Structure 1
Amino acid sequence: MSTPKFKNPIVRWIDYRLPIFSFLDHEMHEYPTPKNLSYWWNFGSLAGLMLVVMIVSGIILAMHYTPHVTLAFNSVEHIMRDVNYGWLLRYIHMNGASMFFIVVYVHIFRGLYYGSYKKPRELLWMIGVVILLLMMATAFMGYVLPWGQMSFWGATVITNLFSALPIVGKYIVTWLWGGFSVDNPTLNRFFSLHYLLPFAILGVVVLHVLALHKHGSNNPLGIDTKGPQDSIPFHPYYTVKDYFGVGVFLIFYAALVFFSPNFFGEPDNYIPANPMATPTHIVPEWYFLPFYAILRAVPDIWFIEAKLGGVLAMFSAILVLFVLPWLDHSPVRSARFRPTYKWFFWIHLADCLVLGWVGANSPDASFHGVPFLIIGRIATAWYFIHFLIVLPLLGFFEKPKPLPTSISEPVLKGGGKLAGATTKPMEKA
């Protein structure tokens, strides 16, 4: 007689009728994982952790928040001053958004470096881009809820961008506002959607994990596992690694919450919204700054006005990620074996940081005599050149280094020494 899989009789009874425990055991315990994953692979689980933190803290904050233009600002002050540990919940939620984006951006750039968007993980990558878009929408609507000066004017400026779209633009803006200006219907709509979208993100994350487990995780070598010798169970080997990553992450998160909770905030948002007084410099949250720089960088081009061109460029900067798996033709995934791509990756990362720096500064200002507007246009041009020109050309002209024949080989034969390497492309590139 075989030993039962679960010792608890209640668990066995439920699992026989609804095999949820068997499913979780297979996906989270027995799930075979490449044996060479580095700490860069911790950021996926950290993103999941932050999603749970944001949902739980958001539900509790919603119990005390009042989505009305005359009460919203004071309700936030009520949370901070009168609700037991309300200040802590708000700072956890407010800074959690920044930590969530930091983790997700690192996760994305790790995928870019190691080629995690390549066959057969194209749909996995595309679902990840959908998660990014939903996060951006949720974060923007959440930034409006405190109803401070930057909240109000940020909502006014960003929603007004849709008016640049021909024919339908003004109707979209009116629908978003719920009227003809940013007012109480706007705040109610944004509050409802800000509460709803995290659960939509959670559903898409489930699809993301299912797509990941279909073909397994990528790895630093960018080659597929050749058998049991190349993989280990996810638990306990990677759960322990994830616990360590969570511990280190929480140290930085706690330092931000307890010692510098307004580090990423704008002082103007502690002033109640005033439609009659415009802030001197309207800026979005830091995680939107690269896209804000792209928005401002586009000039008038023939019959396309700068406003419409900026909106199209800003959305294209995200949408180009959807087609990335088909822009990069290289049969090799990992940048470890792509010497030329590696340099362009770091240039692209620097370019994104420059765009964020430009977005934080006024377009009228300059750096050592060079206007930020010019710097932004150069950085924007390179952003699209990287994806639309450099990557396709590298797939044809780059000569990659030889690949190891298996994941185990570099580990068993002297670390990074790729004995017995082959120049043949991967079987599943």
Structure 2
Amino acid sequence: MSAGAGGGEREESGISGWIDSRFPVISAFRGQYIRFPMPRNLNALWTVGAMLTVVLLLMLATGITLAMNFTPTAAEAFASVEAIERRLPGGWLIRAMHMTGASLFLAALYVHLWRGLYYASYKKPREILWLFGMVLLALVMVTAFAGYVLPWGQMSYWGADVAGKAIGAVPWAGPVTERLFLGGDRPGDVTLHHLFILHFVLAFVVLGVVGLHVAALHYTGSNSPDGEVREPERTLPFHPYFTIKDGLGVAVFALIFALVLFFLPGLITEPENFRPANPLHTPANIEPEWYFLPFYAILQAVPSKFGGLVASAGAIAVLFAVPWLDRSPVRAPRLRPVYRVAMLCLPVAFMLLGLAGKHHVQGGWLYVAQLATLYYFVHFLVLMPVVSRRETMTFRGQV
């Protein structure tokens, strides 16, 4: 409940007042989503969270529809996908929206992650908020991989086969884990059944963790381009100022979504996957979806298969440690010139890894992948702690 003009609590009347006096959901909503104070200098990067929320809901709606018409067996999975597209009313559109949503969701998630890194949104008291975000990233990547295998096309089948071999490279437990994952020596019915259940269940787990992520955000408050903002005069209520801003961001994102969906579907589809899985014919170029290409490049850049697997997984794991790698008291990137340059180099290295993965890390791309991998880990494990320590010493000297 909000304070009235006289300083007391404003009483609700009618049905809403009756409900709120017994179950204060209306006043809680107003406090958290209408009057919730937000820093007034938030830029367009803070609208990406709203885009992710809308796309997640779209993915859940289309995914449930697809799941009700999908047959998770090796013999019928591909045919059931074709039946969805050709016989289910609007089925082609539902599947296209789901596929487009998966790609653009990961794209927006990477932008959201970079914004958090650039503006140091992981610093005290937001460590738990950051960890929830990293758990979301890991869950979304597993969910996306499982969904990629389900159509049981050529790339889906061989993607599952490559993933199984990568798991098998782990010493001691690898071979057993690979057999559990595949349900045998090669991908088949059991593999498809495992991934179908995993994909469906994790979608709702993701939704639950998003709720925890948002709850943690509302508890700690939002970060800003200038760092911590606590003064009331530097904040604005979430509605109408930021609902309008988020609405505009979602509208622009919807236009991009429609452009890719209707005019540029080749950006997010793999022609080889429109052929049914054939265990006897290996595609010439086996590669993951674009959002996994940087990690695929890291995997290929390391000579050892197990070492590449550790490095690829470590590229995600190191993000969980960021709040403890960067101990600098300085938050605003404009006050951190060295860190700002390093943060601008990070997405360049990430994109170079993606290009190297697209070219299968062959020829000169091998050296590009190795250099980009080296910078990626140096950024987090060397630059971030060193710059943090120097900034801390400077800050204490000024105080």
Q: Same fold (TM over 0.5)?
A: yes
| Alpha-carbon distance in 2 for matches of 1:170, 1:5 | 65
1:380 equivalent in alignment to 2:373: yes
Q: 1:91-123 CA deviation, whole Å, 9 max, x = no partner?
A: 100010011011111111111111111111111
Deviations 1:66-94 (A, max 9, x none): 11111111111111111111111001000
- The answer to whether residue 48 in structure 2 is matched with residue 43 in structure 1 is yes
**Residue 283, structure 1, aligned to residue 287, structure 2:** yes
2:53 and 2:366 mapped to 1: Cα distance? 37
2:238 to 228, 234, 239: 234
Bigger share in helix:
2
| Distance apart, 1:318 and its partner CA | 0.4
- Pick from 296, 301, 307 the counterpart of residue 297 of structure 1: 301
Match of 1:35, as an amino acid?
R
Matches within 5 A, 1:97-136: 97-136=102-141
Preserved contact between residue 147 and residue 199 of structure 2 (Cα < 8 Å): yes
Partners of 2:328 and 2:392 within 8 A in 1: no
* Match 2:389 to one of 396, 402, 421: 396
What is the aligned partner in structure 2 of residue 253 from structure 1?
257
CA deviation vs aligned residue, 1:333-361 (integer Å, no higher than 9, x gap): 12111111111111111111101110111
User: 1:12–1:399: structure 2 CA closer, same or farther, 3 Å change rule?
Assistant: closer
Which secondary structure state, in structure 1, belongs to the residue aligned with residue 186 of structure 2? coil
Q: How many equivalent residue pairs?
A: 393
d(CA) in 1 for partners of 2:16, 2:358: 54
Q: Which residue of 2 aligns with 1:210?
A: 215
CA contact (8 A) 1:67 1:187 kept: yes
CA gap of 1:346–1:283, structure 2 versus 1, over 3 A, is same
* 1:206–1:294 Cα change, 3 Å: same
Letter in 2 for 1:212: L
Return the alpha-carbon distance in structure 2 between the equivalents of residues 400 and 265 of structure 1.
Answer: 50
In the alignment, which residue of structure 2 is the partner of 1:312? 310
Find the counterpart in structure 2 of residue 419 from structure 1.
Answer: none
How far apart are the structure 2 equivalents of 1:401 and 1:274?
A: 62
> Using a 3 Å threshold, how does the CA distance of structure 1 residues 3 and 166 change in structure 2: closer, same or farther?
closer
One-letter identity of the residue aligned with 1:246: V
- In the alignment, the residues of structure 2 paired with residue 424 and residue 214 of structure 1 have an alpha-carbon distance, to the nearest angstrom, of 31
CA shift in 2, pair 1:401/1:97, >3 Å: farther
In structure 2, the CA distance between the partners of 1:232 and 1:400, relative to structure 1 (3 Å rule), is farther
CA offset at residue 237 of structure 1?
A: 0.8
Q: Name the TM-score, length of structure 1 as normaliser.
A: 0.88
* Deviation for aligned residue 1:315: 0.7
- Corresponding residue SS for 2:265: coil
Given the alignment of the two structures, is residue 79 of structure 1 paired with residue 84 of structure 2, yes or no? yes
Q: What CA distance in whole angstroms lies between the structure 1 residues aligned with 2:178 and 2:249?
A: 43
Quote the residue 2:228 is aligned against: 223
Query: Runs of 5+ in structure 2 lacking a partner?
Result: none
1:336–1:77 distance in 2 versus 1, CA, 3 Å: same
Secondary structure of 2:38's aligned partner: strand
Q: 1:337·1:401 contact (CA, 8 Å) conserved in 2?
A: no
What percent identity do the matched residue pairs reach?
A: 46
Cα 1:220/1:3, change in 2 over 3 Å: closer
CA distance in 1 between partners of 2:265 and 2:63 (Å): 17
Q: Distance in 1 between matches of 2:342 and 2:37?
A: 33
Counterpart of 1:411 in structure 2 is none
Distance 2:237 2:46 in 1: 15
Give the Cα separation in 1 of the matches to 2:178 and 2:74.
19
Give how far 1:424 is off.
5.9
**1: distance between equivalents of 2:278 and 2:148?**
16
SS in 2 for 1:33: strand
Name the CA distance, whole Å, in 1 between partners of 2:42 and 2:128.
Answer: 21
SS at match of 1:219: coil
1: CA distance, partners of 2:393 / 2:158: 50
**Contact residue 160 and residue 187 of structure 2 kept, 8 A:** yes
**Residue ranges of structure 1 left out of the alignment (5+ in a row):** 300-305, 403-422
Q: CA RMSD in A?
A: 2.0
In structure 1, give the amino acid aligned to 2:314: S
